[in-house]
Amino acid sequence: MTDQTSTGSCCGGTCGGGTATDVQPLGVTTVYKVSGMTCGHCEGAVSEEISALGGVTAVTAVAATGEVTVTSTAPLDEEVVRAAVDEAGYELVGRA
């Protein structure tokens, strides 16, 4: 048996401190309200269209709240986001 020092954690003990860490991609995060989403398929369709926009690094759509959180490298033109949501078959109401 070899002599090893263990901190009790695979990451040196920094992740088990009892606090939650929310790691976000770098960039600008904007939350939009979208009407018409009712299920996971809707979420996927909206996410797919918005994800195809230049500079978008992450998209999370939640049908239950009608909110779509978009992270991008720079602020997005709302009309470009509106066109992507329209293409998916839904309506961009505005920013949440």
Distances (CA, A) of 49 to 3, 4, 42, 68, 76: 54, 50, 11, 12, 14
Is residue 94 within 8 A of residue 82, CB to CB? The reply is no
Residues of the chain with pLDDT under 70: 1-25
Euclidean distance between CA atoms 7 and 96, whole angstroms: 43
pLDDT at res. 77: 97
pLDDT at res. 45: 98
pLDDT at res. 1: 53
